[in-house]
C-alpha cells in the first residue's frame, strides 16, 4: 500500500477518518482501529503465499497456502487491504465475498520495511447477513466505483500485497488465468527480437544430436502446434518464483514431433495467444530430456523444447501464412459420433461436435494435489443417437470460453477421454490437452473444420432440426448427478464395497462443515429418516412423518424414458453445397442490443467453424450423398439424465432464456471476484424453472443413504435437501 501522502479528505468518509487516525504521526505503526460503519467489498483477489509468510503473519503459521487482498469502500473512497489468513474460511465458504456488506472491521497498519509503504491488514470483521444480498449494489447504485478516489491519493500496486508473486490466481481454481497482464496479443518487442533469426534445422536433427552426445545444433525450427495443454500452476509456499507456470504444446515439422514447454513469464506473455493449428518460428530455445522420461512415465528417451525468458531468452514468432514448401503436418482429428461412443472402449481419446441442450452450474472438487478444480456437466445432441452425449468438463484454461457456454450453441471439444464403468452409463471428460470451441465467443478459429466429414454430417443434421423444439428442451443450472445413484440396495453395496465405510452423524457433520463454496463430495452415512417435507415450486409444501408403510412406487435412480421426437422427413438442400444462403427463421429477441446476434439461426451460427480453402468446399460437395445419413433426436426432456435428489433454491434447473442468455450464464456461474461483474440476486430468481421440475423434498436425518453434499453458506446440516 502506498504511503498516506496526499490522502483524500472527505468529512463524511468514515473509512478515511479511521485510516487517517491510524496513520498519523501521533500513533506508532502496529496499532489497530475498528471501523463500525458499514463497508462494501469491491474485489477479492487470491494468491499463493511465499517464504515471507511467517514475517507478515506471525500468528497464522498453520493457515492455508492461499492469501487474499481486498478492495473496500464506504461509498466515498476506497482502500486496498490484505486479509488476515484466519478469515480465509469465510472467503472459502463464500460468506465474505465480493458484494458483501461488512461492519466492525478491525484495521491494522504497519510499515513495509521493503518499500517504505504503509500496509493495511484486516484482522477481524463481521459479515452483515441480516441485510439482503443486494444491499451493496443498492448502496453504491449511484456511485462509479471505478472513479472513487483511493484514500491515500495514490493508486496501489496491481500486484499481490504480501507475497512476491507476479499474478493473482482465480478465486476457485489454479488452472485458469486472471488479470490484464495475461496478453492475448504478442509482446510489443516480439517482432523486433524475431528479426535476429538463424538458419532453420529439422526437429529430427535436433533430437538425434542431443540424444547422441547431448549437444545442440545451432539453428531455428519452424513447427505447427498440434496440441496445447491447460495451464499448470506449480507454485509452492516454500518457493519465491514470480510466475510459477508451465504449459506444454505438441509441435511438429515434416521430420518429427516433440513437446515444447512454455515456462514462467513466457506463459503470461504467450499462453493466451498460441492455439493449435498455428505455425511458429522458434529460436534461442533450450533442449532437455523429456519430462516423461525423467519421471519414468516413458521408458524411451526423447527431448523437449524449453521456452524460457532467460538463459537463453527464447524468441517466438507466429508465421502466417506458412510456406507450403515446409510440408508441415496438419492438426489431427478423431471425431466420434454418439453411436460410436456406445461401442468404444474405456479410455478412448476422441473429439466431439454437438449442440448443447443442457449446461450445469460450475462445481468445485479437490484434485489429487489437494487443490480446487472446477467442473460442470454438458449435455449434447449430434443427431446420431437417441442417447445424448454427456461431458464432464473441467477447466481447460479458457475462462473466456467457459463463461459463455450456453444451450443452443455448437460445441466442439478435442482430446476428450471416454469413461466407462460397470454400469451402462458412460461420459466424456478432459485430458491434459483438451481444448474447447463454442459458437458465440467471438474468438477466431485457427483450425479448418470444413473438410472434416463428421463435421459436415453434423451441419446437415443441424440444418434439419426444429429450433423451437430444442429451445423448449434446453436447461441451465440445477444440481446434476451422473451416473445416477444405484436404484437397489444390492447395487449400492456392490458400488461402495471398495470405498470408505459408513460415517457416523458426527463425522458427517464435521466433514460438511469443512466443505468449501460449491464443493461437491459424496458421503455414505447410516441414519433414520425422521421427517420428509415436500416443497412445491410455488412455495407450497406438504409435511409428513416417515412410516414403514410408505413405499416408493418408482426408484429415483431409474432413467425416465419419454417419447422421442421424430426427425423432419422433408428433403432440404445440402447446406454445404447450397449456393446462396436462404432466409431462415430467427430465434426471438426483444433486447435491441442483441438483435444482431439473435438474427443468426443455429445453422448460420455454426458457419463460423467453416474456415479454410475453397478446395475444401469443393471436396465437400463430392460427398453430398454420404452426408445424408438418418438422424435422431435425443429425449425431448432433460429429465432422462437428471437425478434431482438435491434441489436447494440455487440448484433448481432453469429453462434457457435466449434473449437473456448472457445474464443467465453469469447468474448460474461461480461467485465473481470483481464488483463490476456482480448481478442482482433477483436475476437468477427471475428465470422460470425447467418444465420437468415441480418441486423437491427435504429429509431430516436421524443418524443406509448416500448424501450428495454441496458446500453453501446458508445450508443447514440437519436439513439436507435431497
pLDDT in tens, 349-372: 999 999 999 999 999 998 888 888
| Nearest CA among 7, 10, 711, 15 for reference residue 363 | 711
* pLDDT for position 228: 98
- Distance of alpha carbon 489 from alpha carbon 495, whole angstroms: 10
* pLDDT for position 649: 55
* pLDDT for position 1: 40
* pLDDT for position 26: 47
Above 60 in pLDDT, residue 72?
yes
* pLDDT for position 14: 86
Above 50 in pLDDT, residue 540?
no
CATH 3.30.230.10 fits 190-326, yes or no: no
Percentage of the chain with pLDDT > 70?
A: 75
The most confident of the ranges 21-35, 138-152, 703-717 is: 138-152
* pLDDT for position 486: 82
Average pLDDT over residues 538-563: 37
Above 60 in pLDDT, residue 569?
no
Q: Which helix (H) or strand (E) holds 17?
A: helix 14-23
| Nearest CA among 25, 36, 2, 275 for reference residue 153 | 2
pLDDT range class, residue 603, cuts 50, 70, 90 = low
Q: Which CATH class is domain 338-479+566-638?
A: mainly beta
State the alpha helices, DSSP H only, in 474-530: 489-496, 505-513
660 pairs with which residues across the strands?
none
| Nearest CA among 643, 714, 652 for reference residue 686 | 652
- 408-417, 452-461, 699-708: range with lowest mean pLDDT: 699-708
Joined together, the cell numbers standing for residue 21 give: 487516525
* pLDDT for position 192: 57
pLDDT range class, residue 714, cuts 50, 70, 90 = very low
Contact 407, 388 (CB under 8 A): no
Domain with CATH 2.40.50.140 in the chain: 14-139, 190-326, 338-479+566-638
Residue holding cell 474460511?
89
Read off the pLDDT of residues 210-224 as tens digits, 9 standing for 90 and up.
Answer: 999 888 888 999 999
Other CB atoms within 10 A of residue 101 CB: 20
pLDDT range class, residue 446, cuts 50, 70, 90 = low
Q: Which helix (H) or strand (E) holds 606?
A: helix 602-606
Joined together, the cell numbers standing for residue 138 give: 443498492
Read off the pLDDT of residues 135-184 as tens digits, 9 standing for 90 and up.
Answer: 999 999 999 999 999 988 889 989 999 999 999 999 999 999 999 899 88
- 91-100, 212-221, 507-516, 647-656: range with lowest mean pLDDT: 647-656
Q: Whole-model pTM?
A: 0.83
Other CB atoms within 10 A of residue 511 CB: 16
Above 50 in pLDDT, residue 663?
yes
Average pLDDT over residues 400-427: 92
pLDDT range class, residue 648, cuts 50, 70, 90 = low
Residue 676 vs residues 38, 41, 140, 144, 159: alpha-carbon distances, Å? 20, 11, 11, 10, 20
- 179-188, 348-357, 543-552, 681-690: range with lowest mean pLDDT: 543-552
| Nearest CA among 61, 79, 62, 66 for reference residue 22 | 79
Residue 215 vs residues 186, 196, 199, 540: alpha-carbon distances, Å? 30, 22, 17, 76
pLDDT range class, residue 39, cuts 50, 70, 90 = very high
* pLDDT for position 573: 38
Residue holding cell 434441489?
647
- Distance of alpha carbon 528 from alpha carbon 643, whole angstroms: 22
Q: Which CATH class is domain 14-139?
A: mainly beta
pLDDT range class, residue 545, cuts 50, 70, 90 = very low
* pLDDT for position 216: 83
Average pLDDT over residues 443-462: 81
Above 60 in pLDDT, residue 706?
no
pLDDT range class, residue 28, cuts 50, 70, 90 = low
Q: What is the mean pLDDT of the chain?
A: 80
State the alpha helices, DSSP H only, in 424-479: 453-462, 467-473
Read off the pLDDT of residues 297-344 as tens digits, 9 standing for 90 and up.
Answer: 788 899 999 999 988 899 999 998 899 999 999 999 999 999 999 999
* pLDDT for position 596: 43
- Distance of alpha carbon 526 from alpha carbon 502, whole angstroms: 6
Higher pLDDT, 562 or 28: 28
Nearby residues of 649 by Cβ (< 8 Å), 6 or more positions away? none
What distance lies between CA 56 and its chain's CA centroid?
32
Amino acid at each position: 500500500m502506498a504511503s498516506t501522502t496526499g490522502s483524500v479528505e472527505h468529512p463524511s468518509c468514515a473509512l478515511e477518518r479511521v485510516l487517517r487516525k491510524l496513520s498519523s504521526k501521533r500513533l506508532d505503526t502496529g496499532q489497530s482501529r475498528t471501523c463500525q460503519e458499514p463497508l462494501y467489498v469491491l474485489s477479492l483477489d487470491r494468491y499463493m503465499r511465499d517464504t515471507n509468510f511467517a514475517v507478515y503473519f506471525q500468528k497464522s503459521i498453520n493457515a492455508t497456502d492461499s492469501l487474499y487482498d481486498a478492495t473496500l469502500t464506504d461509498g466515498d473512497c476506497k482502500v486496498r487491504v490484505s486479509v488476515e489468513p484466519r478469515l480465509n474460511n469465510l472467503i472459502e465458504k463464500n460468506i465474505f465475498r465480493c458484494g458483501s456488506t461488512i461492519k466492525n472491521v478491525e484495521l491494522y497498519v504497519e510499515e513495509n520495511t521493503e518499500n517504505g509503504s504503509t500496509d493495511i491488514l484486516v484482522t477481524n470483521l463481521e459479515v452483515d447477513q441480516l441485510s439482503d444480498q443486494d444491499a451493496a449494489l443498492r448502496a453504491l447504485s449511484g456511485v462509479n466505483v471505478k472513479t472513487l478516489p483511493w484514500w491515500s491519493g495514490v493508486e496501489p500496486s496491481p500486484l499481490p500485497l504480501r507475497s512476491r508473486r507476479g499474478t493473482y490466481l482465480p478465486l476457485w481454481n489454479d488452472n485458469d488465468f486472471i488479470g490484464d497482464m495475461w496478453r492475448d496479443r504478442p509482446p510489443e518487442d516480439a517482432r523486433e527480437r524475431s528479426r535476429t533469426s538463424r538458419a532453420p534445422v529439422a526437429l529430427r536433427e535436433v533430437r538425434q544430436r542431443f540424444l547422441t552426445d547431448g549437444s545442440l545444433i545451432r539453428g531455428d525450427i519452424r513447427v505447427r502446434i498440434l496440441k496445447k495443454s491447460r495451464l499448470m500452476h506449480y507454485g509452492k509456499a516454500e518457493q519465491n518464483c514470480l510466475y510459477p507456470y508451465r504449459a506444454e504444446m505438441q509441435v511438429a515439422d515434416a521430420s518429427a514431433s516433440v513437446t515444447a514447454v512454455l515456462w514462467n513469464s513466457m506463459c503470461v506473455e504467450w499462453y493466451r495467444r498460441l492455439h493449435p493449428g498455428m505455425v511458429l518460428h522458434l529460436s534461442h530455445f533450450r533442449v532437455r530430456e523429456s519430462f516423461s522420461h525423467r519421471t519414468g512415465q516413458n521408458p524411451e528417451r526423447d527431448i523437449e523444447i524449453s521456452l524460457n525468458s532467460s538463459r537463453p531468452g527464447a524468441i517466438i514468432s507466429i508465421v502466417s501464412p506458412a510456406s507450403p514448401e515446409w510440408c508441415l503436418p496438419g492438426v489431427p482429428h478423431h471425431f466420434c459420433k454418439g453411436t460410436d461412443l456406445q461401442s468404444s472402449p474405456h479410455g478412448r481419446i476422441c473429439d466431439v461436435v454437438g449442440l448443447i441442450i443442457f449446461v450445469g452450474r460450475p462445481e468445485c472438487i479437490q484434485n489429487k494435489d489437494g487443490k480446487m478444480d472446477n467442473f460442470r456437466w454438458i449435455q449434447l445432441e449430434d443427431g446420431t443417437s437417441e442417447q445424448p452425449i454427456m461431458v464432464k468438463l473441467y477447466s481447460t484454461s479458457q475462462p473466456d470460453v467457459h463463461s459463455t457456454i450456453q444451450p443452443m450453441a455448437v460445441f466442439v471439444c478435442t482430446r476428450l477421454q471416454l469413461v466407462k464403468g460397470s454400469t451402462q452409463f458412460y461420459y466424456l471428460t478432459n485430458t491434459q490437452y483438451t481444448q474447447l470451441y463454442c459458437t458465440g465467443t467471438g474468438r477466431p478459429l485457427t483450425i479448418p473444420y470444413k473438410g472434416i466429414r463428421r463435421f459436415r454430417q453434423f451441419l446437415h443434421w443441424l440444418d434439419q432440426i426444429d429450433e423451437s423444439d430444442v429451445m423448449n428442451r434446453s436447461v441451465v443450472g440445477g444440481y446434476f448427478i451422473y451416473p445416477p445413484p444405484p436404484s437397489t440396495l444390492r447395487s449400492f453395496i456392490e458400488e461402495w464395497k471398495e470405498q470408505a465405510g459408513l460415517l457416523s452423524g458426527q463425522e458427517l457433520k464435521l466433514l460438511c462443515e469443512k466443505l468449501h463454496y460449491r464443493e461437491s463430495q459424496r458421503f455414505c452415512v447410516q441414519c433414520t429418516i425422521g421427517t420428509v417435507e415436500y416443497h412445491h415450486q410455488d412455495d407450497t409444501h406438504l409435511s409428513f412423518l416417515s412410516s414403514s408403510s410408505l413405499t416408493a412406487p418408482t426408484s429415483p435412480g431409474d432413467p425416465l424414458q419419454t417419447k422421442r421426437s421424430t426427425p423432419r422427413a422433408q428433403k432440404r438442400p445440402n447446406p454445404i453445397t447450397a449456393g446462396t444462403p436462404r432466409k431462415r427463421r430467427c430465434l426471438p429477441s426483444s433486447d435491441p442490443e442483441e438483435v444482431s446476434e439473435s438474427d443468426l439461426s443455429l445453422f448460420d451460427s455454426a458457419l463460423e467453424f467453416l474456415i479454410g480453402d475453397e478446395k475444401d468446399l469443393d471436396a465437400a460437395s463430392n460427398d453430398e450423398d454420404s452426408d445424408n445419413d438418418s438422424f435422431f433426436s435425443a429425449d425431448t426432456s432433460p429429465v432422462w439424465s437428471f437425478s434431482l435428489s438435491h434441489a436447494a433454491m440455487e440448484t433448481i434447473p432453469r429453462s434457457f432464456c435466449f434473449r437473456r442468455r448472457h445474464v443467465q450464464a453469469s447468474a448460474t456461474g461461480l461467485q465473481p471476484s470483481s464488483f463490476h461483474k456482480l448481478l442482482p440476486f433477483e436475476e437468477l430468481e427471475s428465470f422460470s424453472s425447467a418444465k420437468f421440475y415441480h418441486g423437491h423434498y427435504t429429509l431430516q436425518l436421524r443418524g443406509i443413504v448416500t448424501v450428495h453434499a454441496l458446500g453453501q453458506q446458508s445450508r443447514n446440516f440437519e436439513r439436507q435437501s435431497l
